[in-house]
Amino acid sequence: MARSRAEPVAGTHPIDTGVAELMPDTVAGGWLLTVNGAQSSHIHPDPGVLDFEYMRQMAAMIAEVHPDDAALRVLHLGAAACALPRFIADRYAASRQVAVEIDGALARLAREWFDLPRAPRLRIRVGDAREVLESLREDTRDVIIRDAFAEARTPRHLTTREFVVEVRRVLTPGGLYLANCGDNRDLTLARAEVTTAASVFEHVAVVADAAMLKGRRTGNLVLVASDQAIEAGPGLVRTLLADPQPAKILAGRQARDFGSGSVITDPADTSAD
């Protein structure tokens, strides 16, 4: 007999990296997960509903490249409650996904609380995102999604050129890299991440709402990179503009011009000094 799934429990819960808080969302429905004070995931009763706008933007970019019946191999670097893997499993039923989560206790709670697909449709692997990435064979993933945060910032070792080189190695030719970039209004980190990705991939794009792109608010933007051309086609533009949080896409020269500053690199190895 299959083991019944535990019901979500509202309140605070100790996890390996701090404290998770789970609260019912009385407006949108479902549950909002906060990790160490930062909103981390929203799980709606319908797996096809994504409450976070950057996830809807990522979903739009995947849909632009892959039809609904595609059997995708997807790697998620950062998992939390697995809202986006759950969505992809619903939209692309034949897909196989691995979600990497550094916090083992959080991964266990997500499995207990929510109706996540089981392996092999979705495997949750506990570990450091970069270490797992570096252990994978080349040309084995169609989509790689980076959505990992330590409180409000992406860990630096997941932003460097060396990291992006590993992403490109693991992606299939023409594969899609999507990164959630959280930043302040000055966009210093986001612009540096675009420059870094453009030093590795032939094509880059940026997706966000206009206020974020103009530096008028703190928030998230989606970095897109591929060796395949990324087109701001009319269908994609309409989808992004029709979203409850309308967004725009910068592609080609516009995206490269959005980048600025130096390429982010790993710290120099001083062990021999």
67 token code pair: 């039809």
Sign for the CA dihedral angle at 188, 191, 195, 201 comes to positive
- CB-count exposure of residue 121 (10 Å: 0-12, 13-18, 19+): middle
Catalytic residue among 147, 186, 266, 269: 147
186 is catalytic: no
pLDDT at residue 270 in the model: 53
- pLDDT per position as a tens digit, 30-77: 999 999 999 999 999 999 999 999 999 999 999 999 988 899 999 999
Question: Domain locations in the chain?
Answer: 51-258
- pLDDT per position as a tens digit, 105-114: 999 999 999 9
Look at strands 31-35 and 18-24 and give their pairing: antiparallel
pLDDT at residue 9 in the model: 87
Which band of pLDDT confidence, cut at 50, 70 and 90, is reported for residue 5? low
Instruction: Pinpoint the alpha helices (H) of the chain.
Output: 53-65, 83-91, 104-113, 129-135, 161-170, 188-198, 210-213, 234-241, 253-258
Rounded Cα gap, residues 210 and 201, in angstroms = 25
Give Cα 56 distance to the centre of its chain.
11
The hierarchical CATH code for the domain 51-258 is 3.40.50.150
Residue 18 pLDDT > 70: yes
Q: What is the dihedral of CA 91, 235, 73, 182, to 10 degrees?
A: -100
Q: Give the global pTM.
A: 0.94
Share of the chain above pLDDT 70, in %: 96
Q: What share of the chain is helix, strand, coil (3-state, %, to 5)?
A: 30, 30, 40
